[in-house]
Amino acid sequence: MDNCLRDTDLQVKSGEEYKAQIDMVILDILEKSETLVFANVVKKAGVTPYIINQYPELRSYILDKMKYEKEVYLMNKKIEKAATNLVKANKTVTFLSIVNRCKFNLDKVYHDELIKNKIRTVIAESMKN
């Protein structure tokens, strides 16, 4: 019986701790411009098949979070690129000029707080420079 596992050395993470780790890994992958696929996220987050069986909600959480973060990342990149191009062209950086340059649907912009907030922050940054 000397070969039995001892519970004193093991640390078991909760589902929320895994979710926080997954969030950081997804953002890290996007910043490094690596391919964002389920296998890479699981591998880098240290989530094993046993953990996914233990917390079945993690699978859908990872897939939903990957989709959401990818959309937000691409939208932010598009807005920043539009603002940069407007500055290079010596045009005024306004809310509507960014929306038109990005070719966003005005209804989508009106209802999506993330887009509005990102455009506002980009305008504020361009005013400082």
pLDDT digits 0-9 by tens, 64-73: 999 999 999 9
**What is the number of domains present in the chain?**
1
Residue 1 lies in a domain: no
Residue 98 lies in a domain: yes
Question: Which H/E stretch holds residue 62?
Answer: helix 57-88
Residue 7 lies in a domain: no
Residue 2 lies in a domain: no
User: What's the CA dihedral at 29, 26, 59, 64 to 10 degrees?
Assistant: -120
Q: Which domain holds residue 85?
A: 15-128
Name which of 16, 27, 116, 115 is nearest 65 in CA terms.
Answer: 27
Of the pLDDT bands very low, low, confident and very high (cuts 50, 70, 90), residue 5 is: low
Q: Considering only residues 114 and 129, tell me which one the structure prediction assigns the higher pLDDT.
A: 114
Q: Residues 112-121: what's their mean pLDDT?
A: 94
Residue 8 lies in a domain: no
Residue 117 lies in a domain: yes
Per-residue pLDDT at 116: 94
Per-residue pLDDT at 11: 62
pLDDT greater than 60 at residue 7 = no
